[in-house]
Structure 1
């Protein structure tokens, strides 16, 4: 289980810009990201496998295109129970707060990509412990938390 992409955007509902490393801020989210703040959806996750599925369906998409903050391999996020905790890199810890989301209107991502898989595949978390994360960092599921 590892991080394969980190992305942020200054505006909600848009594709995100990929970076090699970023800072997760406790009870806030990814530094400089429009979705960060004092709520339950501080950070979003999407598996690289879900992005590959969208590509296989003919969509011209890549990391950050579904407005996900962190893409990973080896984790089936949509089946991770609410309350599950994960360590990202050496010190950052997140807790899963929501699986999927309701889209009230078709956003820019839907029109640019032709579909949005975040409502079905995306997972949201709050940051319990901040820290620096880098593409390639390992992810560890922590005991308890449910």
Structure 2
């Protein structure tokens, strides 16, 4: 199966969910145009409180559509954009990608993956019990964060539903994603 963009979302306000829109514009080095998390330095409120000069490694939030399938099968009723993602992708195991992988989205946009989204208690405020559903454990008992991945914009461009996603792996050795 070919990886494809299923929806795109952006919101100028700091809210948990983002409305689905027809297209988003990725801006090199800053993120999603008009989104509350757009900027060269951190915009996530908890990170701004610690150090507002930190580089923004969370410019774009990408989520695999298969997670929505999973949580909806468990009765949560989550629609695209409601997990706060900017880009919903089907057909690509985002969580298995290494740090530094580059995703070409559509014709020109390129996002470099920086790490895992660390889900917080806001998820349970949105849907009680959802936090537990987006966290798991691997065979060694380590926490598995399933709430998507984060990236920075290397090349700008417009992204919309139906755009193809192309993966370019970094040079080995590959480093697994960690929370960012």
TM-score of the superposition, structure 1-length normalised?
0.90
Alignment partner for residue 9 of structure 2, among 3, 7, 10?
A: 7
Match of 1:65 in 2: 82
Please tell me whether residue 139 in structure 1 is matched to residue 165 in structure 2. yes
Match of 2:31 in 1: 29
Larger radius of gyration: 2
| RMSD of aligned alpha carbons | 1.7
Cα deviation, residue 36, structure 1: 1.6
Gaps of 5+ in 2: 41-55, 136-144, 175-180
Deviations 1:46-96 (A, max 9, x none): 111001101001002100111011001111111110100010000000100
**Alignment map for 1:69-80 (pairs within 5 Å):** 69-80=86-97
Cα deviation, residue 137, structure 1: 0.4
Q: Distance in 1 between matches of 2:14 and 2:69?
A: 23
Q: Distance in 1 between matches of 2:60 and 2:72?
A: 23
Count of equivalent residues: 143
Cα deviation, residue 13, structure 1: 4.0
1:8–1:17: 8 Å Cα contact kept in structure 2?
Answer: yes
Question: Greater share of strand residues, 1 or 2?
Answer: 1
Q: Which runs of 4+ in 1 moved over 4 A?
A: none
Gaps of 5+ in 1: none
